[in-house]
Amino acid sequence: MTSCPLISHGSGHDVLAWSNGQVITAAQFLADARQLAAALPAGGHVLNASADRYRFAVGLAAALLADKVSLLPPTLTAEMVRQVRTFAPDVFCLADQAQGLDMPQFVWTGSMQKSASASSQRTGVFDIPQIPAAQVAAIVFTSGSTGSPVAHRKRWGALVRSVRAEAERLGLLDGRRHTIVATVAPQHMYGFESSVLLALHSGGAMETSHPFYPADVCAALAASSRPCALVTTPVHLKALLASGLELPVPDLVLSATAPMPQQLAHAVESRMHAPLLEIYGSTETGQIASRRTTQGAQWSLFPGVELRVDAGGTSALGGHVEQPTPLADQIELVTPGTFLLHGRTADLVNIAGKRSSLGYLDYQLNAVPGVIDGAFFMPDEEDAADESVTRLMAFAVAPGLSPSTLLAALRERIDALFLPRPIVLLDSLPRNSNGKLPRETLQALAQKHRPKGKPNAQ
């Protein structure tokens, strides 16, 4: 396979997106992408910060047509932007509204979309571009333990193979053209694959909005064309069920970013009257397996993907995974195509669909001027059962600094989801003779200093 189509829709009249109840066709999408590609400024790297899912998709397509690479960092903090500019000095930000970022910006305005639509209606042309399979479509970043983001290049052919396998696994290639409603951002690897690329390569349509709160999710589902799929996370589903709202009935619920407790999965299927499937993967590998959680704990690999287990851990290879890629989980192979998960092997943390590492967060805390020593701690989920999102804590030795000053400094360095609640100031950290802070030591500190009631918003 030397090339792959930009989209898989069979007709220019097929619906590719819904925006405030208005249809956006496949022909309009291609016209928008071509016009934007011609208008993009110089520079081989595009930081696609568009919040609107359709505009994000057009930006991705335009970058492909212009032979530019889309950069998808995990956050847009000032520190991450500086690191992205170091990685790609020619980068510019593409957005649907002005961003307060320290880099050149190009804002795609609504008038461009209207003129592109009119142009496509005049010509009536529906010619789907073919993109070289080897072309790097995107670079997705994970947070490295040294504070520098780690780049993972995603080739167009591998991305298409991945989402086609997902579409087949989810039953989305039966010609019914699902509408995808997603609570996850398109810049996140899961959202990138399952809310944008999945729509482009299943013949379906994306809902352009990004509903977050339960009422917004319910409204988006109620307004969606059927059949529809909800692409979300355990955190969002937990909040949705706890809201007490009358829940619209989707045809499919898809979850990722953290393992789904079976009790929650049963509650979702009972309340929403739809099958719930989980996706397993990582930024490094993309999605590689799925399971129907209510029917068992085993995961089934996507076609062509295999796992290799040795003394160094588990690696994935095959299908869309182009080279052996280590996984950050303890995995037990059941059969060549199925496996069980037994938790993380590293210090990765997931909060509301975003991933970081404790090592990276520790690095940023200790880089704040005035901090002598510091460490983050992630409580066990059951320790935070009264909260919809488990909150990180941080302990710091920082004479002369207040918690609010430290929080302000961290806000410049890490995503808001990972800001600690609370920050506890100490005279020293109880490191052992090897300079380590074992988890049990941090857990004891957390129990001693955990605030009563709800965490301080600081």
Q: Is 199 helix (H, G, I), strand (E, B) or coil?
A: helix
Phi first, then psi, for residue 451 (nearest 5°) are -70, 150
The token duo for 378 is 């992630």
Residue range 332-367, pLDDT digits in tens: 999 999 999 876 665 777 787 777 878 788 888 988
Residue spans of alpha helices (H) in 197-324 = 198-200, 214-223, 234-242, 262-272
The token duo for 310 is 């040795």
Can you spell out the DSSP letters for 224-239?
Answer: SPSSEEEEE-HHHHHH
Q: Which of 199, 178, 147, 212 is nearest to 353 (CA)?
A: 212
The token duo for 210 is 């990004």
pLDDT at 185 over 60: yes
Residue 290 CA to residue 293 CA, distance in Å, equals 9
pLDDT at 115 over 50: no
Domains and CATH numbers, the chain: 3-344 (3.40.50.12780), 348-449 (3.30.300.30)
First-to-final CA distance of the chain: 54
The token duo for 359 is 């090592």
Q: Would you state the pLDDT for residue 122?
A: 45
Q: Does pTM surpass 0.85?
A: no
pLDDT at 70 over 50: yes
Provide the percentage of residues in the chain whose pLDDT is more than 90.
Answer: 62
CB within 8 Å of 380: residues ≥ 6 apart: none
The radius of gyration of the chain's CA atoms, rounded to the nearest angstrom, is: 22
Q: Where is 62: in which H helix or E strand?
A: helix 53-65
Name the band, by pLDDT with cuts 50, 70 and 90, for residue 145: low
